[in-house]
Structure 1
Amino acid sequence: MKAASIFNEVKTADKLLAITFDDGPNPEWTPQFLRVFQQYGAKATFYVHGTNMEKYPDVAQRMDEEGHEFGNHSYSHPHMASLSKEEQTEELRRAEQIIVAVIGKRPSTFRPPYLEYNDDLLAVCEQFGYPVIHATNLDTRDWDMPGTEHIVNVTRAEVRAGSILLFHDGFGDRSQSLAAIQILVPELIEQGFKLVTISELLATETT
């Protein structure tokens, strides 16, 4: 069976990149990230949990109203490679159903929790029509609170046309990630990058 494609970045002729967030929506942190993007007229892609979509539909609706994209990040954030193929399918199906119920739009990409996958999961993603989205700046480990300077510096080293950058807006203290975004977004725009959604970036892929 055909496997879904995995993207860490997109080969593009345009000066575009995508900033993505995992684990929301979160009522404390997500609105603070949204304010930064609103200030600079930029867009992001949020890989959301089905459980958090259920808990915080109002936050999700604001994200959608402000033009951001939603990606599937599973229903309950399990280690997907440890699940059966049927369980993997159910995780993606439940999350997709909730996203559609809350914002009326189907997600078009998937990011596996912990970035873990196996052949079964890639086959399931292909059935859903989901490319699998990773990122270039994984060494930031922003979820582990390594310091704002570390997050910014590691990310800067991975900035180029077509980069996919990963941060977290859900669970725990996201203050360092927020501080890094407040530095990086205006900096990237000043450098001439346009911050777009994953779907917009994928649409510019060249061979």
Structure 2
Amino acid sequence: MKAAEIINEVQSAGRLIAITFDDVPDPEWTPQFLDVFKQHGAKATFYTLGTNMAKYPEIARQIHEEGHELGNHSLTHPHMPEISKDEQRAELQQAEQLIVEVTGRKPNTFRPPYLDVNDDLLVVAAELGYKVIHGLNLRANDWAMPGTEHILAETRPSIRDGSILLFHDAGGDRSQSLEALSVLVPELLEQGYRLVTVSELLGLDR
């Protein structure tokens, strides 16, 4: 089996951008991010952590019902290169099952925890039919609470047709990320971008 490739952007996608969130869902922050996207009629991809989905299935269901995409972010958020190939496969499959229970469909895309990959993981992802997604604005480091202006300043240079942008809406205080997205979403729309799911960006939408 050929290994999966890591995707940071999609060439020639037109005026489309995919905004993504990791570690979802969170009972405090996820609904607030959903409100921002609802206000502007935009869509996003939420990379769900299986253990959080098991705790908050109603929030995962809200994400799906509001037209967003649920992607796979593993079951327990391990450093995937440090576990065996069989354990990698189990992490993806068990998280996948939780997503299927909410959405009725298998997710198309997977974001590795910590963006850590090795050859085994890329093969496992391909075997399971996943596209492996990273992102362009990695210097934003929104998870570290570096300040709203830092998040925006390190994200804006990554904005172009076909960009995939990475943020977090769980795992701690996400007020800076929320504030940054409250600025960025309308800004992108004013620039003529359409905010879509990763699957739509990749042409995988069914």
Normalised TM-score (structure 2): 0.97
* Residues 1:138 and 2:111 are matched in the alignment: no
Task: Output the CA distance in 2 between the equivalents of 1:172 and 1:22.
Answer: 12
Q: What aligned pairs does 1:27-106 form with structure 2 within 5 A after superposition?
A: 27-106=27-106
Letter in 2 for 1:104: G
Stretch of structure 1 that moved more, 142-151 or 7-16: 7-16
Aligned length in residues: 204
Task: Output the CA distance in 1 between the equivalents of 2:144 and 2:30.
Answer: 18
Overall identity of the aligned pairs, in %: 65
Look up the match of 1:124: 124
Contact 1:53 1:102 in 2 (8 A): no
Task: Output the CA distance in 1 between the equivalents of 2:13 and 2:96.
Answer: 31
Look up the match of 2:9: 9
Per-residue Cα deviation, 1:94-133 (whole angstroms, up to 9, x for no partner)? 0001111122221110000000000000000001110100
Contact 1:72 1:107 in 2 (8 A): yes
Contact 2:13 2:201 in 1 (8 A): no
Look up the match of 1:21: 21
Look up the match of 2:192: 192
Q: Which runs of 5+ in 1 are unaligned?
A: none
User: 1:13 Cα shift?
Assistant: 4.2
Letter in 2 for 1:194: R
Contact 2:40 2:186 in 1 (8 A): yes
Q: Compared with structure 1, are the counterparts of its residues 35 and 90 closer, same or farther at alpha carbon in structure 2 (3 Å cutoff)?
A: same
Letter in 1 for 2:26: N
Q: Compared with structure 1, are the counterparts of its residues 13 and 198 closer, same or farther at alpha carbon in structure 2 (3 Å cutoff)?
A: closer
Task: Output the CA distance in 1 between the equivalents of 2:101 and 2:108.
Answer: 15
Letter in 2 for 1:50: G
Letter in 1 for 2:130: Y
Look up the match of 2:180: 180
Look up the match of 2:111: 111
Letter in 2 for 1:120: D
Q: Compared with structure 1, are the counterparts of its residues 183 and 93 closer, same or farther at alpha carbon in structure 2 (3 Å cutoff)?
A: same
Per-residue Cα deviation, 1:21-47 (whole angstroms, up to 9, x for no partner)? 000100000000000000000000000
Normalised TM-score (structure 1): 0.97
